[in-house]
Structure 1
């Protein structure tokens, strides 16, 4: 944001909002439809588990952002004042300034998705994890995918539009911490249940020595799933950036130790 052309007072306001709203993230987005427009769109994605939503606010001047109260996003007043977007928004990181991997792999994937006029897709600034380029975010649910090839991109988007996870490229949900993202992946791999709303995260427990217990529940069956994982560094090393191919680092990962299924509460 520091390098953007936003007025200083708007930068300060958005920076304050980021700090005051837990787990929030600011991204700059664009597509071929935004070029040359006098107005701007400000999107707000609320990636809750039960009621995710996406708003679009049209502004003529960036200073209008100063009057938006994001703390009221969950209120009925907010939903009445601003346009709720029924479409699902696909973001693909193409920010080569942050890391050349993102433009090298992100642009072809973006172009593949943008060629389908039925998909609402935009290029975005850096989303993190450039070693996973091309990175895709599906809003409003905050679903992250990595290493998305152009040939696979449309299928991933279609799965999301149908309410399902595409497991092969799944990085996790933005609302989950890393260990829960890993547990979510392992659970879906075991059960083959890819519905977006199949599982509810119940708890995360640090049980010592790098071990974690993550508990999910299935709202339909009432079953509870307990997964024990351990955090470790792999023997494999990778380069973290296209610009530093000689800087190899080990991968931090969560390995599944055991998974148990409790009977339904009926």
Structure 2
């Protein structure tokens, strides 16, 4: 049997691979999901397409979610929705029960990336949640590797959800921590629990740092995300607000609020051909390699 795509990528870095999103919206939709779940599920495809277009036009992403376990079709009149924004400044998360998914079309989409939390009828502050992709119709790795992780976390009483495609199934199980927007690779039950514990105090988990698990925070440019991830792995810095990243192309500077700074070179490296999804043709693999350069690197220790 051909190895799953994610197994072939297990030794390669996940830095800088988070899909770009300045905010996240997650809508409960039970039942089966197709490959393009927003228009291939029990959700009205016209509403799904409109929600996807609205989120994308404003720079965000929308996912469908369901609780781990058996996936009966959506029968309850109310379903949960989450909105996470303010990722680049002060992340916030709001939860609402909706009776009609079309209600979400009225969201102030252009304001969701801002630091001011959503203030709309029915929306309440929420504790952190972890979403893990299990969209088998998009890639079998996500279901095979993601569902056992969620089953264990759910049994432990953690606030976790199955979700649709987050991008990067080659790093399955992939997860998104809300409200921070940190995207994770190769999620384990222990990693998920640590991420939720840290998020409860508004921080990132040290356990998520390093090339194996940290795909970056979704509001950042991929190379900026790789640079920030490198500094967090070197320093163990868990504060969301502590680091600021500036730069372009291969050259980036990460500055800490305490005055330290790191000059970094972030290069895109092409490697051996690998499939990015199960059943797809192999393509040259690409990862980001990060290295300290210049005088600022002397401030690491």
TM-score range, shorter chain: 0.7 to 0.9
Instruction: Give the aligned partner of residue 107 of structure 1.
Output: 147
Of residues 254, 274, 286, the one that matches 1:238 is 274
Q: Does 1:167 align with 2:223?
A: no
Find out whether 1:157 has 2:196 as its counterpart: yes
Does the Cα contact within 8 Å between 1:132 and 1:147 map onto a contact in 2?
A: yes
Partner of 1:148: 187
Q: CA 1:160–1:251 in 2, change beyond 3 Å: closer, same or farther? A: farther
Q: 2:287 aligns with which of 242, 253, 260?
A: 253
TM-score normalised over the length of structure 2? 0.74
Report the Cα distance in structure 2 between the residues aligned to 1:12 and 1:248, rounded to whole angstroms: 30
Number of aligned residue pairs: 252
3-state SS in 2 of match to 1:81: coil
Q: TM-score, normalised by structure 1?
A: 0.82
| Match 1:205 to one of 248, 266, 291 | 248
Residues 178 and 67 of structure 1: is their aligned pair in 2 closer, same or farther, counting only changes over 3 Å? Answer: closer
Q: Secondary structure at the match of 1:3?
A: coil
Please show how residues 206-221 of structure 1 align to structure 2 within 5 Å.
206=249, 212-219=250-257, 221=258
Q: Residues 1-266 of structure 1 correspond to what in structure 2 (within 5 A)?
A: 1-22=38-59, 24-31=60-67, 36-73=75-112, 74=114, 78-117=118-157, 119-162=158-201, 163-165=203-205, 166-168=208-210, 169-201=213-245, 203-206=246-249, 212-219=250-257, 221-234=258-271, 236-244=272-280, 247-259=281-293, 260-261=295-296
| Counterpart Cα distance in 1 of 2:261 and 2:63 | 36
Larger radius of gyration: 1
- Helix, strand or coil for the counterpart of 1:175? coil
For 1:141-191, what per-residue CA distance to the aligned partner results, in whole angstroms no more than 9, with x for missing partners? 101111123454323433443423321411111111211121112212222
Check conservation: 1:10, 1:65, Cα contact below 8 A. no
The answer (yes or no) to whether the contact 1:223–1:263 under 8 Å persists in 2 is no
TM-superposed CA distance for 1:115, in Å, is 1.3
**For 1:147, what is the secondary structure of its paired residue?**
coil
Moved over 6 A (4+): none
The Cα of 1:61 is off from its aligned counterpart by 1.8
| Alpha-carbon separation, structure 2, partners of 1:29 and 1:4 | 11
What residue is the counterpart of 1:209 in the other structure?
A: none
Separation in structure 2 between the aligned mates of residue 50 and residue 4 of structure 1, nearest angstrom: 34
What SS is found at the alignment partner of 2:296?
strand
CA distance in 2, matches of 1:12, 1:231: 33
RMSD value, Cα:
2.8
Q: Which blocks of at least 5 consecutive residues in structure 1 are unaligned? A: 207-211
